[in-house]
Amino acid sequence: MAGRPEILFPLFSALTELEGVGPKTAKHFEQLGIEKPRDLLMTLPQSGIDRAVKASVQDAVLPDVITVEVEIGMHVPPRSRGRPYHVHVRDEKLEFRLVFFHARGDYLQKQLPSGQRRVVSGKVEMFDGQAQMVHPDYMLPVDRASEIPAFEPVYPLTHGITQRMFYKAAHSALERVPELDEWIDLGQKKKAGWPSWAEAIRAAHNPKSLADITATDPARERLAYDELFAHQLTLGLARATVRAKPGVSSKATGRHQSRVLAALPYALTGAQTRAIAEIATDMEAPVRMNRLLQGDVGSGKTLVAFMALLAAVEAGGQGVMMAPTEILARQHHESLVPLARDAGVVLELLTGRDKGAERTSKLKALAEGEIHVLVGTHAVFQEDVQFQDLRLAVVDEQHRFGVNQRFELGAKGKAVDVLVMTATPIPRSLALAQYGDMDVSVLDEKPPGRKPITTATVSTKRIDEVVAKLRGVIAEGRQAYWVCPLVEESELSDKTAAEDRFKRLRAALGEGAVGLVHGQMPPAEKDAAMASFVAGETSVLVATTVIEVGVNVPNATIMVIERAEGFGLAQLHQLRGRVGRGDAASTCLLLFQEPLSETARRRLSIMRETEDGFRISEEDLAIRGAGDLIGTAQSGLPRFRIADLERQTALMAVAQSDARKLLWDDPALETSRGRAARVLLWLMEQDRAIRLISIG
């Protein structure tokens, strides 16, 4: 597609072409992210003011914006400088005052001649026991009262932009709205009762009542859908592009897998079996796999990923698993060692700490195919790391990765299958927005036999009781985590808090019983501290949030989180997931400092109520909002102007299936609906998608 369709030109012109918008105003509009008429049109009123004419101010609950017909009475100019100018007026039932500061008397005399009737509209409030309207928004002769909109839209403002300016500019932009061919499936449009795009945009800027401003208003809903649909089309095109690149068909023979399965002391869960099969199908197909494995902590993702890695090996190739941190890479490696032994494959670890001759020999073995599965940190993607035949890359815990980064990963040229694992359950709407270009396998079933974790909230005033409980736990031969507060100011203070707690617990529980890890420690010390906890040499591990993800010590049955009110829900859930991994009953103690804020109280009570990561993520979304949940900028999650991810989940799901269906029927977007959809992509500035079609 050559360039932006001409029909959209008027919407992409300079803002200054609009009525009443000069260069200065245009600059102010930029503060709102508005640079062209299209942006203005996509910035909808947030609320509205009812300016329908009322009989009298007397019937209103003040303060409120009121429109009434009045008879003008006496003018009372200010008695001294700096005092306001008053005009007495009387509506059907009540006498009140219009108030003006820094007023010009002659102007007001002309506008409001005593004895005449006017319609005035503005905010009325009580002052000194009298109703008054300060600086009316409208003052018109009765025969011009219709110039006051019965319902006036209220736009988001910024310095230098008034409601009137915004309204005028938006209405000038509305005159440029072209009739566009329909891109929405006609069945869907009819079922939802949606207007056309042009009708919708006009209606959205001309609300008739508050109902027209709610997200469920058909015009608004349609405009939200357009945004979501465009986003899903982009993801769908990305997905199609990845899939169109020839991939390698890796067919599992079961040779290694069956040996692992035979040696497992447990049976796979249904969800694991399903996920393994879905992955196998993808890997066997001659297209590139781009799949997300989503599962709560403890749902058994590691085993699923390992079976996929074995499939790559069975097909004669190699696999790599990448973790975000050194600790996690080591843990993955450790937990895979026995599985690799059972399977009869060669497993190796490569991190940034490999240096010199050892590293060289690992790289050599890798290039010659003597290492089958490599586990590591980002180090595995360094340039000199060459595989003989890499078939599968497993990327762990990449929920902080956005769509854009995955695009880059896919663009590395190699036709490797990609499996992304995330332990952070995210609400469905966000999953669709963030991972809509991927296929998703969900482990929604926990391995059987897990005891529920008892969660309790305890005031820090009772910290001594908590320490006493720890003593009992240690006596039983069990272990505990003690997570120290997040300290806002710096990592250094995190360290101080952890060291302080470490000293106190050692004094209370015995020198050798307590270990310490924090982010500031030299890596070797950190590893040593982790290792002695894993080996059971230390009973209590005092830690900052470095233990947040992945760490697995089944014998640990207590998780103490100090100043839990300072943590986010997702983090609390991740931390709690460190216990309850063995067969003994586990407890999570959330220590809090009073007084609790309302949201902190809500977070802690959700933690007490449920262990379901998906439910927790939905609640988190409700408390925090979509942008916050993943960090919009980082996540690559688009910033929607109209759509609301929290409240329009169902709409997102419809948009995804509709986008995928359109691309299935019309992959190059060449039919008339396909061409309409191209216009939508231009309208929604989905440059990336546009590039994909241009290339493809």
Binding site for Mg ion (CB under 5 A): 302, 550
- Measured from the CB atom, the residue of 25 and 331 that comes closer to Mg ion is 331
CB of 302 to ligand ADP, least distance (A): 3
Separation of alpha carbons 152 and 148, rounded Å:
8
Residue of 132, 250, 269, 656 that binds ligand ADP (CB under 6 A): 269
- When asked if residue 272 is in the footprint of ligand ADP (CB under 6 A), the reply is yes
- When asked if residue 302 is in the footprint of ligand ADP (CB under 6 A), the reply is yes
Query: Could you tell which of ligand ADP, Mg ion, none binds residue 266, using a CB distance below 5 to 8 A set by kind?
Result: ligand ADP
Span of 52-60, 265-273, 311-319, 529-537 interacting with ligand ADP by CB under 6 A = 265-273
- Contacts of residue 595, defined as CB under 8 A and 6 or more positions apart, other chains included, come to none
Span of 21-29, 126-134, 160-168, 267-275 interacting with ligand ADP by CB under 6 A = 267-275
How many CB atoms lie under 10 A from the CB of residue 290?
A: 22
Residue 246, both tokens: 């020839």
Query: Could you tell which of Mg ion, ligand ADP, none binds residue 269, using a CB distance below 5 to 8 A set by kind?
Result: ligand ADP
- When asked if residue 613 is in the footprint of ligand ADP (CB under 6 A), the reply is no
- When asked if residue 301 is in the footprint of ligand ADP (CB under 6 A), the reply is yes
- When asked if residue 394 is in the footprint of ligand ADP (CB under 6 A), the reply is no
Residue 186, both tokens: 């006609």
Site for ligand ADP in 529-558 (CB under 6 A): 552
Transcribe 178-216 into DSSP letters. PP----S-HHHHHHHT---HHHHHHHHHS-SSGGGGSTT
Separation of alpha carbons 374 and 356, rounded Å:
18
Query: Could you tell which of ligand ADP, Mg ion, none binds residue 574, using a CB distance below 5 to 8 A set by kind?
Result: none
Residue of 447, 519, 568, 667 that binds ligand ADP (CB under 6 A): 447
- Contacts of residue 77, defined as CB under 8 A and 6 or more positions apart, other chains included, come to 85, 105
Residue 283, both tokens: 């890997």
Count, residues near ligand ADP per rule CB under 6 A = 16
Q: What region does 240 belong to: left with phi over 0, alpha with psi -120 to 50, or beta?
A: alpha
- Give me the phi and psi of 184, to 5 degrees please: -80, 140
Separation of alpha carbons 160 and 250, rounded Å:
61
Span of 113-121, 227-235, 292-300, 321-329 interacting with ligand ADP by CB under 6 A = 292-300
- When asked if residue 207 is in the footprint of ligand ADP (CB under 6 A), the reply is no
- Measured from the CB atom, the residue of 149 and 577 that comes closer to Mg ion is 577
Amino acid, single-letter form, for residue 376 = G
Span of 13-21, 137-145, 179-187, 290-298 interacting with ligand ADP by CB under 6 A = 290-298
- When asked if residue 303 is in the footprint of ligand ADP (CB under 6 A), the reply is yes
Amino acid, single-letter form, for residue 374 = L
- When asked if residue 365 is in the footprint of ligand ADP (CB under 6 A), the reply is no
Angle CA 238–239–244, to nearest 5: 100
- Measured from the CB atom, the residue of 250 and 269 that comes closer to ligand ADP is 269
CB of 532 to Mg ion, least distance (A): 21
Straight-line distance from the first to the last Cα atom of the chain, in angstroms, rounded to the nearest whole number: 10
- Measured from the CB atom, the residue of 184 and 549 that comes closer to Mg ion is 549
- Measured from the CB atom, the residue of 298 and 485 that comes closer to ligand ADP is 298
Angle CA 395–236–662, to nearest 5: 155
Span of 35-43, 55-63, 264-272, 491-499 interacting with ligand ADP by CB under 6 A = 264-272
CB of 299 to ligand ADP, least distance (A): 4
Is 47 within 8 Å of 41 (Cβ atoms)?
no
Separation of alpha carbons 439 and 437, rounded Å:
7
Residue of 149, 247, 295, 425 that binds ligand ADP (CB under 6 A): 295
Q: Identify which of 293, 297, 301, 321 has the alpha carbon closest to the alpha carbon of residue 571.
A: 297
Query: Could you tell which of Mg ion, ligand ADP, none binds residue 376, using a CB distance below 5 to 8 A set by kind?
Result: none
Query: Could you tell which of ligand ADP, Mg ion, none binds residue 42, using a CB distance below 5 to 8 A set by kind?
Result: none
CA atoms within 13 A on the CB side of 392: 35
- Measured from the CB atom, the residue of 228 and 311 that comes closer to ligand ADP is 311
Is 203 within 8 Å of 170 (Cβ atoms)?
no
- Measured from the CB atom, the residue of 376 and 550 that comes closer to Mg ion is 550
Task: Write down the residue that tokens 């005891």 correspond to.
Answer: 451
Is 427 within 8 Å of 569 (Cβ atoms)?
no
Supply the DSSP symbol for 15.
G
Residue 354, both tokens: 């490999």
Instruction: Report the helix count and the strand count for the chain, using DSSP H and E.
Output: 25, 22
- Measured from the CB atom, the residue of 42 and 549 that comes closer to ligand ADP is 549
Separation of alpha carbons 171 and 556, rounded Å:
64
- Measured from the CB atom, the residue of 552 and 610 that comes closer to ligand ADP is 552
- Measured from the CB atom, the residue of 332 and 603 that comes closer to Mg ion is 332
Separation of alpha carbons 586 and 351, rounded Å:
33
The three-class DSSP label of residue 503 is helix
Is 253 within 8 Å of 312 (Cβ atoms)?
no
- Measured from the CB atom, the residue of 302 and 544 that comes closer to Mg ion is 302
Supply the DSSP symbol for 548.
S
Residue of 248, 289, 297, 642 that binds ligand ADP (CB under 6 A): 297
Site for ligand ADP in 397-436 (CB under 6 A): 423
- When asked if residue 451 is in the footprint of ligand ADP (CB under 6 A), the reply is no
Task: Write down the residue that tokens 């939508």 correspond to.
Answer: 680
- Measured from the CB atom, the residue of 231 and 301 that comes closer to ligand ADP is 301
How many CB atoms lie under 10 A from the CB of residue 101?
A: 11
- When asked if residue 298 is in the footprint of ligand ADP (CB under 6 A), the reply is yes
- When asked if residue 453 is in the footprint of ligand ADP (CB under 6 A), the reply is no
- When asked if residue 268 is in the footprint of ligand ADP (CB under 6 A), the reply is yes
- Measured from the CB atom, the residue of 273 and 460 that comes closer to ligand ADP is 273
Establish whether the linkage from the previous residue to 595 is cis, with ω within 30° of 0.
yes
- When asked if residue 140 is in the footprint of ligand ADP (CB under 6 A), the reply is no
Q: What is the strand order of the sheet 417-422 is part of?
A: 347-350, 373-376, 318-322, 390-396, 417-422, 290-295, 439-443
- When asked if residue 266 is in the footprint of ligand ADP (CB under 6 A), the reply is yes
Span of 69-77, 113-121, 297-305, 592-600 interacting with ligand ADP by CB under 6 A = 297-305
CB of 443 to ligand ADP, least distance (A): 7
- When asked if residue 559 is in the footprint of ligand ADP (CB under 6 A), the reply is no
- Measured from the CB atom, the residue of 51 and 581 that comes closer to ligand ADP is 581
Task: Write down the residue that tokens 């590039």 correspond to.
Answer: 691
Query: Could you tell which of Mg ion, ligand ADP, none binds residue 250, using a CB distance below 5 to 8 A set by kind?
Result: none
- When asked if residue 578 is in the footprint of ligand ADP (CB under 6 A), the reply is no
Which positions touch ligand ADP (CB under 6 A)?
266, 268-269, 272, 295, 297-303, 423, 447, 552, 581
